[in-house]
Amino acid sequence: MNFLTFWRGVKAGVKNFFRNGWLSVATISIIVLTLFLINIVFLITVVSNKTLENVQDKIDVSLYLKADADESSIKNLESDIKKIGGVKDLKFVSKEEALQDFKEKHKNDEIILKSIEELGNPLQPSFSIKMDRPEEYQQIFQKVKENDIKGVISDVDYYSQKKPVVEKLSEITKSIRKIGLLVVAIFAAIAVLVTFNSVRLTMHNYRREVEIMKLVGAGHWFIRLPFIVEGMLYGFFSAWISILIFYPLIYFLSPYLNRAIEVMDIVEYLNSNAIKIVAIQLFCGVFLGALSSLIAIRKYLKI
Amino acid sequence: MIHFRNVSKIYTGDVVALRDVNLDIGKGEFVSVVGQSGTGKSTLLKMIILEEKPTIGQVFFNERDVMTIGNREIPYYRRRIGVVFQDFKLIPKRTVFENVSFALEVAGKSNKEIKTNVGQILEIVGLSEKAIKYPTQLSGGEQQRVAIARALVHHPAVLVADEPTGNLDMINTWEIIELLVRINKLGTTVLLATHNKEMVDRLNRRVIALDKGNIIRDQLEGKYMI
């Protein structure tokens, strides 16, 4: 196919698009609706993921060291832990800092404060560890314990206290992610089917035209190109329209949304990811439109 | 130029459309194929434009067996033949000019060539002034003339017309036939399928009569007789 033929195909597609008038409008509205639904589902997924991240962030596990552990062993242990992947945050808390924290926490409780002063400083230095994924805690503590030849580690509050919480949380995270993915997949499938069907209906109008094209000796790509261009235009306009509905709607609803969703600012999220969202939307729309018409027109190419 | 050798066409369900047809059509001839509806006239023409393939036998176009033309070659092959149908087959959303120029766009001709050629052919069929009209704004006769213009604009060697006047009144019918005769005089081979007796009798050209898929008569200056 030379450039002239290509250019003519593109031009014919654009012309068809505008000459189709109401049919184009109908097809676009359906694609807009599905893209819009996908946007909503996508946003719900983002918010629920953010909520989970927030909860996970609040969990940290302490690795208690023996009170007499010397500095070099502590340094060694620290670099050992850092070597293990998946550690999000690692903080060393010395005996003195631990005491400070303790006093701060119980500053209203006279009895506890008094008794701790009598005892001196019974607290142990510790590492407070945060992992990317909660299910990794168990592994990391096993590894650390294996490496601890000198025996500086005295205790981990993981097994006794936090394990059930962490496990429950990672279970919830996993199932929410799975459900989210499933819902997005279902909606995407619906979008593809609906788009495909409405483009196919539009293309049904062209069966005569295709027949004529073939009879005057048009090659297959010469026939396909205008339809692909038309399909892409459907996707292109639908994507923009769906964005132009979605963004203002969220802005308008943002005061209510922000009250309901505390973990994140949705408008801020949409703004900082605007280019990505628009690009993905356009790509999906255009790709979907082109693919639908390509498949739809195949049926009529067999003469 | 066109040769049929022992051609039979059997559709699914044992419907025989053509039975052992042998036929030679020379360059520049004007041939009418006549017969009742369903006697295989259209099948015969469809084989020439490769819309149908023979079940048995061979069809040659310019000494080449059309069965050897591959799918990719078919578009190029069809550009050497002009086709006109009873129902005109115009694209309603394109103007007269666009409907005609389409046949040249398909062949990748330049815009300049298209403009000159379409202008000329519209003048021949007498529709220069209606170039920017849409098919629905034209009469049946005019629509058929647009279809003929489209079929001829790329200067095909053969014009195949399948009942081109079937939807037209007497006056328009004669206009179309006169046009076909004029085109034939300019050197294009014309193949006309029809069951219009009066028209065939007045043409006084070669007539091939079909009945139930068989050629029952082939006369050089024939009349419509079955």
Q: Please tell me the distance in Å from A223's CA to the nearest CA on chain B.
A: 9
Domain assignment present for A89: yes
pLDDT given at position A285: 85
Q: Do A293 and A212 share a structural domain?
A: yes
Domain assignment present for A166: no
pLDDT given at position A265: 80
Domain count, chain B: 1
Angle subtended at Cα A203 by Cα A291 and Cα A17, rounded to the nearest 5 degrees: 85
Band (pLDDT 50/70/90 cuts) for residue A160 is low
Q: Residue B89 is encoded by which pair of tokens?
A: 């087959």
Sole residue written with tokens 């694609």: A31
pLDDT given at position A149: 65
Q: B58: which strand partners?
A: B5
pLDDT given at position A158: 66
Q: Please, what's the largest Cα pairwise distance for chain B?
A: 51
What are the C-alpha distances in Å from B62 to residues A292, B52, B56, B201, B220?
41, 18, 20, 29, 21
Band (pLDDT 50/70/90 cuts) for residue B30 is very high
Domain assignment present for B151: yes
Band (pLDDT 50/70/90 cuts) for residue A281 is confident
Q: B10: which strand partners?
A: B16
B12-41 average pLDDT score: 88
**CATH, residue A130:** 3.30.70.3040
Terminus-to-terminus CA distance in chain A, angstroms?
A: 21
Query: Which residues neighbour B178 within 8 Å (Cβ) at sequence distance 6 or greater?
Result: none
Domain assignment present for A242: yes
Contact A222 B106 (CB under 8 A): yes
Q: Please tell me the distance in Å from B201's CA to the nearest CA on chain A.
A: 30
Q: Do A217 and A93 share a structural domain?
A: no
Q: Do A175 and A49 share a structural domain?
A: yes
Band (pLDDT 50/70/90 cuts) for residue A27 is confident
**What ipTM was assigned to the predicted interfaces of this complex?**
0.78
Domain assignment present for B61: no
Q: Do A85 and A51 share a structural domain?
A: no
Q: Do A84 and A145 share a structural domain?
A: yes
- Residue A210 in contact with partner chain B when CB distance is under 8 A: no
Q: Are strands B15-25 and B2-11 parallel, antiparallel or unpaired?
A: antiparallel
* Chain A partners within 8 Å of B108 (Cβ): 2, 4-5
Q: Is B162 left (phi over 0), alpha (psi -120 to 50) or beta?
A: beta
Band (pLDDT 50/70/90 cuts) for residue A79 is confident
Residue B47's domain spans which residues?
26-53+74-219
- Residue B13 in contact with partner chain A when CB distance is under 8 A: no
Angle subtended at Cα A61 by Cα A58 and Cα A66, rounded to the nearest 5 degrees: 145
Residue A143's domain spans which residues?
67-151
Q: Do A147 and A12 share a structural domain?
A: no
- Residue B78 in contact with partner chain A when CB distance is under 8 A: yes
Band (pLDDT 50/70/90 cuts) for residue A115 is confident
Residue bearing the bigger pLDDT, B132 or A80:
B132
Which amino acid type is present at position A291?
A: L
Contact B145, B121 (CB under 8 A): no
pLDDT given at position B100: 92
Domain count, chain A: 2
Residue A99 has pLDDT above 70, yes or no: yes
Q: Do A241 and A186 share a structural domain?
A: yes
**Nearest C-alpha neighbor of A80 from the set A69, A94, A70, A90:** A90
Task: Give per-residue pLDDT as tens, B114-160.
Answer: 999 999 999 988 889 999 999 999 988 899 889 989 998 888 899 99
Query: Which residues neighbour B35 within 8 Å (Cβ) at sequence distance 6 or greater?
Result: B41, B195, B209, B210, B211, B226
Band (pLDDT 50/70/90 cuts) for residue B59 is very high
Q: Do A78 and A224 share a structural domain?
A: no
Contact A24, B98 (CB under 8 A): no
pLDDT given at position A159: 64
Q: Do A289 and A176 share a structural domain?
A: yes
* Chain B partners within 8 Å of A4 (Cβ): 108, 110
Q: Please tell me the distance in Å from B141's CA to the nearest CA on chain A.
A: 19
Stated length of chain A: 303
Mutate to test the interface with A, among B77, B80, B105, B136 (most CBs of A within 10 A): B105
The mean pLDDT value of chain A amounts to: 80
Domain assignment present for A201: yes
pLDDT given at position B118: 93
pLDDT given at position B226: 63
**CATH, residue B46:** 3.40.50.300
Residue A158, CA atoms < 13 Å, CB-side half-sphere? 26
Which amino acid type is present at position A70?
A: D
Mutate to test the interface with A, among B83, B102, B112 (most CBs of A within 10 A): B102
Give residue B148's Cα distance to chain centre.
9
pLDDT given at position B35: 87
Domain assignment present for A268: yes
Q: Do A269 and A184 share a structural domain?
A: yes
Q: Do A129 and A77 share a structural domain?
A: yes
Taking the complete model, does pTM exceed 0.90, yes or no?
no
Lowest mean pLDDT among A4-8, A126-130, A299-303, B187-191: A299-303
pLDDT given at position A55: 77
Q: Residue A113 is encoded by which pair of tokens?
A: 């404060």
Size of interface A-B (CB pairs under 8 A): 49
